[in-house]
Chains A and B, each alone.
Chain A
């Protein structure tokens, strides 16, 4: 039985919302069309996870304006943890509910034409550039009801554009802070690296709503044009009350690379898709994710790399730890399309179970329509090795501490990959909190 979810927002509301934001016409039209489509489209059907009872309708679309922040001192400690203590982060954006609370970009980068701003400003000031990429190359509006709803109700996010031949050394960091416990996050993140450019981008999602329910419906599009390099790090840390659909999708053109390092640490029900389309010849992606499930949350994680171009290379590494009564499905999918000869698809999924009642499934899937390729996969679901525990404990380390070391070690391959030291440490802390 499917329950029809009545859409809580209508055409008039969306038209008004778009006008209030001074959006270009194309955006308003895209929203209205998406709203139409949302009514007829089906919900997504993540493998082996029933989301029909999840809350996707109860949320506050337009929350109170988040106050500006004049200095770091005004940030709560949980947010400060994301920031590097030692140095002033020159390239930082903090979104509080749906408005920008803090924004900084190094002058040198501004002078080179780098754009790093919130999505509403980008739509007003760089309309053509946003239009060229917004839900075009990566995610389509009509994939299912949630992508259409996202397009209709988009209420936050950032736009990053790095012009041709510009290399950015220092990371760009964004903190998405859902301060209002009922505020929805229909965030759209659009990262575009033009030919021969490079950047490192890191984002953190954070909320503290345990009781109050809301929805995060996030689409992130990452476009690496010819010979561009993008290193993308993310830590998702929504509290129990937030139901999350997050779709991070990358597209690589000729000789381009995208590296993903994602810490999927939400406490609420979550569907997380991380998909990369290797379109151009000799392009490459490396997708590393860590996840921790606890309580009675249900999660579905997909890491997928699709090879279209010849000589493309895709590596997937998923590590998950499950405790309590948490359930999670880990799909690792390597797909090689016909014509993508000399390509290589490698994937590895490992799930560590810490309790009897937790459930974790690792599904390695290879779909290959081309003969002249290489592919490999490995998957395992297991418990902490008693011999490892014995070895550590034989040096006086307590059972608790030994287990902690093994878990941190298990997650280290991804944690160590995160490009900002403070985010790395923050992820370690989140893992610590979630595991114990």
Chain B
């Protein structure tokens, strides 16, 4: 059996009465890397947040199934325990909670009571991942994301991804604000997880991340839905030609979800 399957079916999402997603359909199987691209304001990040259960978004229609189980009926922590992970664009800062304590609580949350990860094993695994991602070891003792630079926050998200080993990960603009060296490190971390069990949905605005992580499938979002899907060559063409040709092809005038009057 090749990992888990995440099926997004006809997903409609609103925030404060504004429609953001208008029927997204997407299926991610274990072993597959999908990229979702599109201009700003087309609903990409909303898709990621809605799947994870962000408190600000309201699902009005559709479903999200993980191996046939309805994700939208689960609490946020249950979604994570079921095997989902979201690398966030803007992770929260939590004062007074060290990154290391948070990581250990997260790992233990997915294990049975009485089967907590032994402290030494945890430290060894964490140190290994910190080295791999070229993160200063001090970060583990700093308060979670507090005072972290943009790049440090992104690396921290990938650190969590590597230690939590989810079935399906969604990475929301994990490349934004990274310089080229940090981008390479972050990509290295994501690629390390690549195997036939692990499925990944990479949301990005730029093609440049896809120079380091080759997607199996590329989807373009406009007006709150997936308007075009293809292979890695689609990303290359978007890099070279932009999005206008898609708009022309599909007769879209404004790619944004809703027009502000």
Residues of A whose CB lies within 8 Å of any CB of B are 385-399, 401-402, 405-406, 408-413
Residues of chain A with a CB closer than 8 A to B102's CB: 392, 395, 405
**Are A390 and B110 interface neighbours, CB within 8 A?**
no
**Are A394 and B76 interface neighbours, CB within 8 A?**
yes
B75-118 vs A, CB cutoff 8 Å, 1 = contact: the mask equals 11101110001101001101111000110011001100000000
**Are B110 and A396 interface neighbours, CB within 8 A?**
yes
Question: A402–B54 Cα gap in the complex (Å)?
Answer: 15
**Are A406 and B94 interface neighbours, CB within 8 A?**
yes
Minimum CB–CB distance from B239 to chain A (whole Å) comes to 31
Nearest 9 A/B pairs, CB to CB: A409-B96, A412-B96, A396-B80, A396-B109, A395-B106, A393-B76, A391-B92, A409-B97, A393-B77
**Are B94 and A392 interface neighbours, CB within 8 A?**
yes
**Are A397 and B96 interface neighbours, CB within 8 A?**
no
**Are A394 and B94 interface neighbours, CB within 8 A?**
no
Whether A405 contacts B54 in the complex (CB less than 8 A), given A393-B77, A396-B110, A399-B75, comes out as no
Residues of chain A with a CB closer than 8 A to B160's CB: 395
**Are B96 and A411 interface neighbours, CB within 8 A?**
yes
Whether A385 contacts B110 in the complex (CB less than 8 A), given A390-B54, A394-B76, comes out as no
Residues of chain B with a CB closer than 8 A to A395's CB: 77, 80, 85, 102, 105-106, 109, 160, 164
* Known contacts A393-B76, A396-B109, A405-B94; 10 further A-B pairs (Cβ under 8 A): A390-B52, A390-B55, A390-B92, A392-B102, A395-B105, A401-B105, A402-B77, A409-B94, A410-B95, A410-B96
Residues of chain B with a CB closer than 8 A to A391's CB: 88, 91-92, 94
**Are B92 and A396 interface neighbours, CB within 8 A?**
no
Minimum CB–CB distance from B204 to chain A (whole Å) comes to 20
A-B contacts, 10 listed (Cβ < 8 Å): A387-B55, A388-B92, A390-B53, A394-B53, A394-B86, A395-B77, A395-B80, A396-B81, A398-B77, A406-B94
Main secondary structure of the interface of A (DSSP, over half): helix
Residues of chain A with a CB closer than 8 A to B105's CB: 395, 397, 401, 405
Whether A388 contacts B96 in the complex (CB less than 8 A), given A394-B86, A399-B75, A401-B109, comes out as no
Instruction: Tell whether B212 is near chain A: CB-to-CB under 8 Å.
Output: no
Question: A400–B96 Cα gap in the complex (Å)?
Answer: 17
Residues of chain A with a CB closer than 8 A to B86's CB: 394
Question: A389–B52 Cα gap in the complex (Å)?
Answer: 13
Q: Give the residue name and chain of the B residue nearest to A405 (CB).
A: B97
Residues of chain B with a CB closer than 8 A to A406's CB: 94, 97
Minimum CB–CB distance from B83 to chain A (whole Å) comes to 10
Minimum CB–CB distance from A414 to chain B (whole Å) comes to 10
Q: Give the residue name and chain of the A residue nearest to B101 (CB).
A: A405
B222-233 vs A, CB cutoff 8 Å, 1 = contact: the mask equals 000000000000
**Are B95 and A412 interface neighbours, CB within 8 A?**
yes
**Are A394 and B79 interface neighbours, CB within 8 A?**
yes
Residues of chain A with a CB closer than 8 A to B95's CB: 409-410, 412-413
Partner of A397, one of B55, B77, B92: B77
**Are A397 and B106 interface neighbours, CB within 8 A?**
yes
Question: A399–B109 Cα gap in the complex (Å)?
Answer: 11
- Which of B77, B88, B94 has the most CB atoms of chain A within a 10 A radius of its CB? B77
Instruction: Tell whether B206 is near chain A: CB-to-CB under 8 Å.
Output: no
Question: A397–B104 Cα gap in the complex (Å)?
Answer: 10
B47-91 vs A, CB cutoff 8 Å, 1 = contact: the mask equals 000001111000000000000000000011101110001101001
Instruction: Tell whether B122 is near chain A: CB-to-CB under 8 Å.
Output: no
Residues of chain B with a CB closer than 8 A to A409's CB: 94-97, 143
Question: A409–B105 Cα gap in the complex (Å)?
Answer: 14
Residues of chain B with a CB closer than 8 A to A402's CB: 77
**Are A408 and B77 interface neighbours, CB within 8 A?**
no
- Which of B76, B86, B101, B160 has the most CB atoms of chain A within a 10 A radius of its CB? B76
Minimum CB–CB distance from B86 to chain A (whole Å) comes to 6
**Are B80 and A413 interface neighbours, CB within 8 A?**
no
Minimum CB–CB distance from B155 to chain A (whole Å) comes to 16
- Which of B54, B80, B88, B92 has the most CB atoms of chain A within a 10 A radius of its CB? B92
**Are B109 and A413 interface neighbours, CB within 8 A?**
no
Question: A408–B143 Cα gap in the complex (Å)?
Answer: 12
**Are B94 and A399 interface neighbours, CB within 8 A?**
no
Minimum CB–CB distance from A335 to chain B (whole Å) comes to 28
**Are A398 and B92 interface neighbours, CB within 8 A?**
no
Residues of chain A with a CB closer than 8 A to B81's CB: 396
**Are B97 and A398 interface neighbours, CB within 8 A?**
no
**Are B55 and A386 interface neighbours, CB within 8 A?**
yes
Minimum CB–CB distance from B131 to chain A (whole Å) comes to 22
Question: A318–B243 Cα gap in the complex (Å)?
Answer: 53
Residues of chain B with a CB closer than 8 A to A387's CB: 55, 92
Question: A402–B97 Cα gap in the complex (Å)?
Answer: 11
Question: A395–B106 Cα gap in the complex (Å)?
Answer: 5
Minimum CB–CB distance from B196 to chain A (whole Å) comes to 23
Q: Give the residue name and chain of the B residue nearest to A416 (CB).
A: B96
Minimum CB–CB distance from A15 to chain B (whole Å) comes to 52
Q: Give the residue name and chain of the A residue nearest to B103 (CB).
A: A395
Q: Give the residue name and chain of the A residue nearest to B164 (CB).
A: A395
Question: A385–B55 Cα gap in the complex (Å)?
Answer: 11
Residues of chain A with a CB closer than 8 A to B80's CB: 393-397
Q: Give the residue name and chain of the A residue nearest to B163 (CB).
A: A395
Question: A195–B188 Cα gap in the complex (Å)?
Answer: 60
Residues of chain B with a CB closer than 8 A to A410's CB: 95-96
Minimum CB–CB distance from B114 to chain A (whole Å) comes to 16
Question: A352–B82 Cα gap in the complex (Å)?
Answer: 31
Minimum CB–CB distance from B108 to chain A (whole Å) comes to 9
Question: A231–B55 Cα gap in the complex (Å)?
Answer: 44
**Are A385 and B92 interface neighbours, CB within 8 A?**
yes
Whether A408 contacts B76 in the complex (CB less than 8 A), given A387-B55, A395-B160, comes out as no
Question: A413–B164 Cα gap in the complex (Å)?
Answer: 29
Question: A319–B111 Cα gap in the complex (Å)?
Answer: 33
Residues of chain A with a CB closer than 8 A to B52's CB: 390, 394
**Are B92 and A399 interface neighbours, CB within 8 A?**
no
